A and B are shown apart, each in its own frame.
Chain A
Amino acid sequence: MKNRDFTSLEVTDAYLGAIEAANPKLNAFISVEAEQARQMASASDKKLAEGAARALEGIPLGIKDLFATRGTHTQAGSHILDGFLPEYESTVTANLWSDGAVMLGKLNMDEFAMGSSNESSYFGPVVNPWRSQGATDALVPGGSSGGSAAAVSSWLCAGATATDTGGSIRQPAAFTGTVGVKPTYGRCSRWGIVAFASSLDQAGPITRTVEDAALLLTSMAGFDKKDSTSVDMTVPDFAAAVSRGVKGLKIGIPREYRMEGMPEEIETLWQQGIEWMKDEGAVITDISLPHTKYALPAYYIVAPAEASSNLARYDGVKYGLRVPGDTIDEMYELTRAAGFGDEVKRRVMIGTYVLSAGYYDAYYVRAQKVRTLIKQDFEKVFAQGVDAILTPATPSAAFGIGDKEMAADPVKMYLNDIFTVTVNMAGLPGIAVPAGKDSAGLPLGLQLIGKPFDEETLFAAGRVIERATSDDFSPEKWW
């Protein structure tokens, strides 16, 4: 676009056309803002013509439905926010627009970001652009940022915003052969993002390449006085770190991530990643993170507890759905029963239970103590000079929509986040990079975990994986 070979309006129209053709099959977008997108693109073309292009001038993006966007669809994938049109703009999206990006529309997601398959969305499941070789069965794109991952993977947007509370950026990225970054807690403002679990939620990008992710995060991140947990630190030029390499870096391999029953293919991929790091001059060292297995159970206390509090605001009074009742309590109860889906109800009820009188210490306080231990595990390893940690991103490749075992047992679904959730519990940055494929030809990802506010090392090491892998992460177009 800078060379004026084509205009932002042309690119935007091409994406809008691709969405129109693909969306009935993939269901990645739940609202398309064509008119607004064209206006933003035309404004960008003017800037480009004046030679005043900003960092993301004219680049069409998809936005997860969790981000408040002024005057446009924002429902967090839920029925309870029916018709909600925010009067304000989230800080992260405002940052993107002030760098010249164009919004194509809002992306599907698990309801209130609770899920690992995008099946809990009120707007129906997203279909993964990837299929097993020779099969036509619909696979999940992962979740909760399933729409973001599927849209990027199928060329429906140049990049997307996403959020990650327990793995919701990295797991769908791994399932779709895309790059996903969860920054350090506090790096991106949470202001204007529908809250799920406030001490864990972080926004980040999903993109086709590591460099694109670095460019987007540079724009998204930054101090915001409207979020009291936003960190007042300069945002580095992440793209400048991408080609830095890993020579001399100490990469830790945590033995506790070698899970029983882990598929051979995941183990092989992990070994391959270790070899790639060695080839580029990194020093590999075995490390121990002894409390790893307790991260997921602790998460399933802390996250629902915070969610039960955050979701108390959906009461049929201030916005969205209202089901009438004779008393105010009846109105609350009927509205929330009709407006929340099953997974959201389960989590709100678990959260309510673990915070209720008599159980608070046994569950919530204990889980927060375990969380301290999990964070200390990482601190000890980093104090030993480890620069980053290499692990698999997920325990498997994408599974089928309507998987019976997972539908019957929520805990089975929760296990999807087993490698990613520790990172949220400790507030650390993590990146998932496509690295290989399973025997059915489905993408698999590796995860790198970094020191607080050292996303730069993750971009550098992520690029090493991206360059080393010989696999092509373009899905075969069937839609």
Chain B
Amino acid sequence: MSVDTDTVKRIGHLARIRVEEQDLDSLADELNNILGFVEQLNEVDVEGVMPMTSVIPMRQRLRPDQVNDGGYAPKIVANAPLSEDNFFMVPKVVE
């Protein structure tokens, strides 16, 4: 499988990374290089093998579903490039 410049553009949009027109070709080459490298996985017989979900066997730890932290909105927004009244500010999303 290999990617063309249209696909690169589409992936860029999915990843929310703007790719400039003049960079599309070189980026497609680089991505194809990496995809070519991982292609060798097709040689492996994975019939009946379970995909890994946890590298160390452990049971999911559960905790009571109750609030145990919070109440410091000013700290949460302290690093925001733009905030007002403890809200994050973004360009208008609803018409």
B80 and A370 contacting across the interface, CB-CB below 8 Å: no
Interface of A is mostly: helix
B67, CB-defined interface residue at 8 Å: no
> When A186-B56, A363-B38, A375-B55 are in contact, do A320 and B13 touch as well, CB less than 8 Å?
no
- Residues of B contacting A367 in the complex (Cβ-Cβ under 8 angstroms): 38, 41
Question: Complex: how many Å from CA A235 to CA B27?
Answer: 46
Closest residue of chain B to A343, judged by CB?
B30
Q: Which of A84, A411, A426 contacts B55 (CB 8 A)?
A: A426
Q: Which of B17, B33, B56, B78 contacts A349 (CB 8 A)?
A: B17
> When A370-B44, A372-B50 are in contact, do A185 and B91 touch as well, CB less than 8 Å?
no
Q: What 13 additional pairs, Cβ within 8 angstroms, besides A300-B34, A352-B11, A368-B52? A: A199-B55, A291-B44, A300-B37, A317-B88, A318-B88, A331-B91, A340-B17, A345-B27, A349-B27, A350-B35, A368-B51, A371-B51, A411-B33
A337, CB-defined interface residue at 8 Å: yes
Listed A/B pairs (14) with beta-carbon separation below 8 Å: A84-B79, A228-B61, A294-B43, A297-B41, A328-B91, A333-B16, A333-B17, A340-B17, A346-B34, A349-B17, A353-B31, A368-B51, A369-B44, A452-B56
> Which of chain B's residues 25-84 have a Cβ closer than 8 Å to chain A?
27, 30-31, 33-35, 37-44, 46, 49-56, 58, 60-61, 63, 72, 75-76, 78-82
Tell me the minimal C-beta distance from A182 to chain B in angstroms: 13
> When A87-B78, A294-B41, A300-B34 are in contact, do A332 and B16 touch as well, CB less than 8 Å?
yes
- Residues of A contacting B27 in the complex (Cβ-Cβ under 8 angstroms): 345-346, 349
- A321, A324, A332 interface centre (most CB from chain B within 10 Å): A332
Interface of B is mostly: loop
Tell me the minimal C-beta distance from B71 to chain A in angstroms: 13
Q: Which of A199, A298, A329 contacts B16 (CB 8 A)?
A: A329
Closest residue of chain B to A365, judged by CB?
B51
A349 and B31 contacting across the interface, CB-CB below 8 Å: yes
A337 and B81 contacting across the interface, CB-CB below 8 Å: no
A414 and B44 contacting across the interface, CB-CB below 8 Å: no
B33 and A325 contacting across the interface, CB-CB below 8 Å: no
A301, CB-defined interface residue at 8 Å: yes
A38, CB-defined interface residue at 8 Å: no
Closest residue of chain A to B53, judged by CB?
A368
Q: Which of A334, A352, A356, A409 contacts B18 (CB 8 A)?
A: A334
A409 and B75 contacting across the interface, CB-CB below 8 Å: no
Tell me the minimal C-beta distance from B8 to chain A in angstroms: 7
Closest residue of chain A to B78, judged by CB?
A87
A322 and B11 contacting across the interface, CB-CB below 8 Å: no
A409 and B33 contacting across the interface, CB-CB below 8 Å: yes
Question: Complex: how many Å from CA A373 to CA B52?
Answer: 9
Tell me the minimal C-beta distance from B45 to chain A in angstroms: 9
A32, CB-defined interface residue at 8 Å: no
- Residues of B contacting A83 in the complex (Cβ-Cβ under 8 angstroms): 79
Tell me the minimal C-beta distance from B16 to chain A in angstroms: 4
- Residues of A contacting B81 in the complex (Cβ-Cβ under 8 angstroms): 316-317, 319-322
A297 and B37 contacting across the interface, CB-CB below 8 Å: yes
B56 and A231 contacting across the interface, CB-CB below 8 Å: yes
